[in-house]
Structure 1
């Protein structure tokens, strides 16, 4: 099954789009609350607590402080409680929370997971309020993962692509004066860095699944294929073999574990030590490294993972998150108003500006100007895609993810791509058939 490309993001207009309101306080004129009298009377919400779950890395301090202050100013009798969750194990945690009688009111859901939670009935149908929360101007390609069975079950929030995060000092010491434009140039540069004594010229853990998905996309590998009215696994292909062999080659330029993901240990902490040439990561990871080691502040640079030829960067997985109201929310009107606030030009623009993430409207892309990660990520995202947007895919990614544990680690530890793929395909098919 071909996975939708995200070329429609509008990243080509990042530096030329019409200037957007990135913090004027006026908000989006189209994103007015439709909660009616209940929203205008704060007494209706006095004593209420709106529980919002956000993921680690999705709560930049400035944005979090400002949206909390704006919420409390509008609803002085209510409380906004933002709880930061870790990505590791979040699928099971969300599944459990959504089945309980008092789930969180608003949740951040990965764009690849939204169809799964929508299909299982955990998310509130937002179709009737899409316009009210600012949906008329959302980029259609970015909104695709928030729609299931023709209905709007979430609001597209932000999007990001992994880029090469590198230590300028280490690259310069190896005599490298320009970032590589092709994969051959990249490997030549990494060899130079290793020759200078840097063991981790490129730190790439063996189970960085979303990073690897970009390699699969670039190789033209389809993770699943349609078989009648169902989907079946499709990893045992020449395209997937090419992708994992390229991944294995990059992994060989460092000491990253072959059987762990990018959070074990957290790769930003590894990079923070100052002796790593580069890693494949996101803006918040680079910021985390700088926070841990401020000496890196002026040494961190970014560039898209290069393609085979200089005219096109490699494909990347365009990850991101949607915001959704849970079906069991006890405060649906208050939750809607929070969504309206978060989706407004003011706060969507501020989030993009602070985090470097691609916003949900093309008109807000100018907020990425001057953000080195944002500019690199937006360039990479022009050639990006997603995992299969089918409900059953959520089960495939539940830990232990067979793609990372059986296929990726299997090949990196010496199995042939075909043998490892067959094992992974068997498990993937089992999970797909359970839906």
Structure 2
């Protein structure tokens, strides 16, 4: 939808805003919780999502109506929260013990509250049989210190959208599959066309794509004690890779100042040959740049020697202080069951996180005369066999990204050697622990 941060700006969430207001968003503070026993005698489950209205209002109203019909003693109150407000509102609600009963978050942010023991421990509530319904790598993304804090919901994964004309002009016979191939293609594309192969941002507050590339190149970011583990030959090679691309003029200078949105603009203008994004962006390109869309195709995500591919996860968590834990879990399991995941994945052009739903023919076989989006969906689904959340849930992950990006930028600008930059990044991170 990320990418845990790039989801925010891309993927599904741009589709839904994409990166996916709530009725009282013009007000302040957190709405009062009305969970628990209602005058009607029914138990109410308060359910917060992130920016899914108005595009999916009908879907969720029908989903909730079906759940309430099957569970006549339960009632669901749905509140949709803007992206920009969710972290503040849920932090306030958890602190005040007025949190909703089921919350839609990403694992990265949810893990920060998991450190404070804010969520229900699902290992005590979910049987191994139910757990096995979900993709194992995706379930793992919702664990911290060996405890499961969330149910996986919908997924997105990057693919490589590429301009077939530019690759042909440059004499590149097939889209690059690895970072090594990407570097070679970048040289050819720049030499033959004057264009760039791709754009990636080194703005610390933006996309984590570069940080994920380290993991794909075989770099361990932190050790078991949370200390820096990237000051290694593999880490230095990853630093050197990006420094060389920039110093050799194979990355736009705006990579140091512009975010991922700029990557989309460049691709839609025909100034880059490859866009790393979600499959749903092919629809956006078709609308904004139909000429580019006609020569666009999709390929698997570019990766390193590990073969790892990223996936961005949205999950459902249940606050530990909920008054209705069993009802909340029942609803969360209902939202994330095979049938409902498949239904939502089709409606939102995302991927499901259950094994059975992902095996549906919708994700396995492209129809005759398939559209570019339909072809890209199959590419995305196939990646799920090796996809995982590349940046593990950890405290102060944003600070880790900032330490690496800031020092990487210094090396790219010639202000530090690669050795000094990576040593400084490691020292800065360790000093915060």
TM-score, normalising length: structure 1? 0.71
Asked if 1:238 is matched to 2:239, the reply is no
Q: Deviations over 1:328-384 (max 9, x none)?
A: 556656643441232121221234445564432222223423343343334545445
Q: Deviations over 1:31-80 (max 9, x none)?
A: xxxxxxx99x995559x6834132x6xx5987664233221454497542
What is the alpha-carbon distance in structure 1 between the residues aligned to residue 283 and residue 130 of structure 2? 30
**Aligned counterpart, 1:155:** 151
**Aligned counterpart, 2:250:** 253
**Aligned counterpart, 2:395:** 394
Distance 1:49 1:182, change over 3 A: closer
**Aligned counterpart, 1:403:** 404
Distance 1:256 1:320, change over 3 A: farther
Q: State which of 213, 217, 220 in structure 2 corresponds to 1:219.
A: 217
SS for the counterpart of 1:224 is coil
What is the alpha-carbon distance in structure 1 between the residues aligned to residue 355 and residue 216 of structure 2? 25
What is the alpha-carbon distance in structure 2 between the residues aligned to residue 45 and residue 170 of structure 1? 61
Distance 1:402 1:62, change over 3 A: same
Asked if 1:170 is matched to 2:166, the reply is yes
Superposition deviation, residue 92 in structure 1: 6.2
The answer to whether the 8 Å contact 1:205/1:256 transfers is: no
Superposition deviation, residue 195 in structure 1: 3.8
Superposition deviation, residue 155 in structure 1: 0.2
What is the alpha-carbon distance in structure 1 between the residues aligned to residue 219 and residue 288 of structure 2? 37
Q: Deviations over 1:209-268 (max 9, x none)?
A: 532234222332111124xxx3311222221111122234555434252334644x4533
What is the alpha-carbon distance in structure 2 between the residues aligned to residue 176 and residue 417 of structure 1? 30
Superposition deviation, residue 202 in structure 1: 0.9
Distance 1:149 1:217, change over 3 A: closer
The answer to whether the 8 Å contact 1:202/1:254 transfers is: yes
Q: State which of 124, 132, 137 in structure 1 corresponds to 2:120.
A: 124
Q: State which of 102, 105, 110 in structure 2 corresponds to 1:106.
A: 102
**Aligned counterpart, 2:380:** 377
The range that moved more, 314-323 or 71-80, is: 71-80
Q: Deviations over 1:152-211 (max 9, x none)?
A: 321012344333222234334445453235555444433343345453331111246532
What is the alpha-carbon distance in structure 1 between the residues aligned to residue 345 and residue 428 of structure 2? 38
What is the alpha-carbon distance in structure 1 between the residues aligned to residue 399 and residue 183 of structure 2? 33
The answer to whether the 8 Å contact 1:313/1:380 transfers is: no
What is the alpha-carbon distance in structure 2 between the residues aligned to residue 426 and residue 105 of structure 1? 40
Q: State which of 288, 297, 301 in structure 2 corresponds to 1:301.
A: 297
Q: What are the ranges of 5 or more consecutive residues in structure 2 without an aligned counterpart?
A: 1-35, 70-74, 367-373
**Aligned counterpart, 1:24:** none
Count of equivalent residues: 378
Superposition deviation, residue 430 in structure 1: 3.1
The correspondence of residues 188-199 of structure 1 with structure 2, limited to 5 A, is 188-199=184-195
Asked if 1:425 is matched to 2:405, the reply is no
What is the alpha-carbon distance in structure 1 between the residues aligned to residue 342 and residue 418 of structure 2? 43
What is the alpha-carbon distance in structure 2 between the residues aligned to residue 67 and residue 361 of structure 1? 19
The answer to whether the 8 Å contact 1:147/1:154 transfers is: yes
Structure number with the bigger relative contact order (C-alpha 8 A, sep ≥ 6) is 1
What is the alpha-carbon distance in structure 1 between the residues aligned to residue 348 and residue 138 of structure 2? 18
Superposition deviation, residue 424 in structure 1: 2.0
The answer to whether the 8 Å contact 2:138/2:388 transfers is: no
SS for the counterpart of 1:401 is helix
Superposition deviation, residue 120 in structure 1: 0.8
What is the alpha-carbon distance in structure 1 between the residues aligned to residue 49 and residue 58 of structure 2? 15
The answer to whether the 8 Å contact 1:164/1:281 transfers is: yes
Superposition deviation, residue 397 in structure 1: 1.9
What is the alpha-carbon distance in structure 1 between the residues aligned to residue 257 and residue 88 of structure 2? 19
Superposition deviation, residue 316 in structure 1: 3.1
The answer to whether the 8 Å contact 1:199/1:255 transfers is: no
What is the alpha-carbon distance in structure 1 between the residues aligned to residue 348 and residue 412 of structure 2? 33
SS for the counterpart of 2:231 is coil
Distance 1:73 1:273, change over 3 A: farther
Q: State which of 352, 355, 362 in structure 2 corresponds to 1:362.
A: 355
SS for the counterpart of 2:79 is strand
Distance 1:81 1:306, change over 3 A: closer
